[in-house]
């Protein structure tokens, strides 16, 4: 996978207009150039973290097509979006369906959530040949959205383990977590797996056995492992905390900002910092420290400070 300076002149022009990549690195509008500085700082943070971590690990691996299944391609606007579950990915997938649907959809919020997650509705980078992959990585604007790692983790736990309707998660992961982490579990708990405690979930995540057995589920996998920011040069790193501004900035760069806005909705069930603090109160400092190690690169890379509620050893 190639990394190169995006200022190169070989960025092709889309339908006679400027590509999002050109608009990002050489903005024609002043309003866009101020935001560009913020994103440059975020890019630099990722680069610095990658450099520091590769020095310590010395492991440089080549990406396989399987590594690219989270990268959604928009041919018409020359953009690639790496989706991260629990970071507004349903709404971003809806927006990508509007952008790539050639007029089939006009309002993202009219697309049912479950339809946004049907894989055939969006094209991902792993479906292309190697030369096509490299061409797109080089010439398309690549972006992702990140969130405070532990807030994202609590959000995933609440969604997957405390909602009664998520029986597939209870069966696949809940039963395994209960079997491994709960002493004297009842037969019903072992069969249903629908009452996993957050402490048990954390114990499961830091258990070396879990890491060896299979990759983390995408809902709690690190952004580092889902989107490979040390191998793929992302032009824009949006944040959940500034979701609206960052999203609309991307739509502006794509030249669709005048008629397409990122969906906003006030969700009362949203996982907040206060809520996350509460969830971590019952986690031992030893387990907190081990869990922080698992997500440490995400904290460093995307400039999230160590949460004040943590009691690290």
pLDDT at 197 over 80: yes
Q: 199 with 233, same domain?
A: no
Q: 225 with 168, same domain?
A: no
Question: Is position 1 within any domain?
Answer: no
Which residues span the domain enclosing 226?
20-56+63-149+221-254
pLDDT of residue 8: 36
pLDDT at 6 over 60: no
User: What share of the chain in percent tops pLDDT 70?
Assistant: 92
The set of long-range contacts for 178-185, using a CB threshold of 8 Å and a minimum separation of 24, is 180/204, 180/207, 180/209, 181/207
- pLDDT tens column, 227-277: 999 999 999 999 999 999 999 999 999 999 999 999 987 666 788 889 999
Q: 34 with 75, same domain?
A: yes
Number of domain units in the chain: 2
Question: Is position 11 within any domain?
Answer: no
pLDDT, average across residues 21-25: 89
* Longest CA–CA separation in the chain, Å: 68
- pLDDT tens column, 200-231: 999 999 999 998 998 899 999 999 999 999 99
Q: 181 with 232, same domain?
A: no
Q: 120 with 154, same domain?
A: no
Q: 89 with 233, same domain?
A: yes
Q: 187 with 88, same domain?
A: no
Q: 228 with 282, same domain?
A: no
- In terms of Cα–Cα distance, which of 246, 296, 229, 261 is closest to 82? 229
CA distance 54 to 74: 31
Is the overall model pTM greater than 0.85, yes or no?
Answer: yes
Question: Is position 120 within any domain?
Answer: yes
Q: 39 with 87, same domain?
A: yes
Q: 24 with 121, same domain?
A: yes
| Stretch among 60-64, 87-91, 155-159 having the lowest mean pLDDT | 60-64
Q: 139 with 67, same domain?
A: yes
Where does the pLDDT of residue 5 fall: very low under 50, low under 70, confident under 90, or very high at 90 and above?
A: very low
**Burial status of residue 263 (CB atoms within 10 A of its CB: 0-12, 13-18, 19 or more):** middle
Question: Is position 140 within any domain?
Answer: yes
């Amino acid at each position: 996978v190639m990394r190169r300076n995006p200022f190169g002149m070989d960025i092709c022009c889309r339908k006679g207009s400027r590509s999002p990549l050109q608009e990002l690195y050489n903005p024609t509008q002043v309003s866009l150039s101020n935001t560009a500085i913020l994103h440059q700082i975020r890019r630099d943070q990722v680069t610095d973290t990658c450099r520091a971590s590769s020095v310590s690990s010395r492991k440089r691996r080549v990406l396989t097509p399987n590594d690219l299944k989270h990268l959604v391609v928009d041919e018409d606007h020359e953009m690639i979006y790496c989706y991260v579950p629990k970071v507004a990915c349903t709404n971003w997938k809806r927006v990508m369906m509007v952008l790539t649907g050639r007029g089939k959809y006009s309002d993202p919020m009219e697309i049912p959530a479950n339809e946004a997650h049907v894989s055939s509705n969006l094209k991902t980078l792993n479906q292309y040949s190697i030369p096509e992959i490299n061409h797109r990585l080089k010439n398309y604007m690549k972006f992702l959205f990140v969130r405070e790692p532990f807030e994202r983790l609590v959000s995933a736990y609440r969604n997957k383990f405390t909602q009664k309707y998520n029986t597939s998660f209870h069966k696949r992961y809940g039963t395994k977590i209960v079997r491994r982490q709960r002493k004297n579990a009842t037969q019903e708990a072992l069969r249903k797996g629908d009452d996993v405690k957050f402490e048990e979930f954390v114990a499961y995540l830091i258990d070396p056995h879990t890491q060896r057995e299979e990759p983390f589920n995408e809902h709690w996998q690190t952004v580092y492992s889902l989107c490979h920011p040390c191998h793929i040069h992302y032009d824009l790193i949006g944040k959940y905390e500034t979701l609206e501004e960052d999203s609309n900035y991307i739509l502006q760069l794509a030249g669709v900002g005048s008629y397409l806005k990122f969906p906003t909705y006030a969700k009362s069930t949203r996982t907040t910092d206060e809520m996350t603090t509460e969830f971590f109160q019952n986690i031992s400092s030893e387990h907190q420290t081990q869990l922080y190690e698992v997500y440490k690169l995400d904290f460093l890379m995307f400039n999230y400070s160590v949460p004040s509620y943590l009691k690290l050893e």
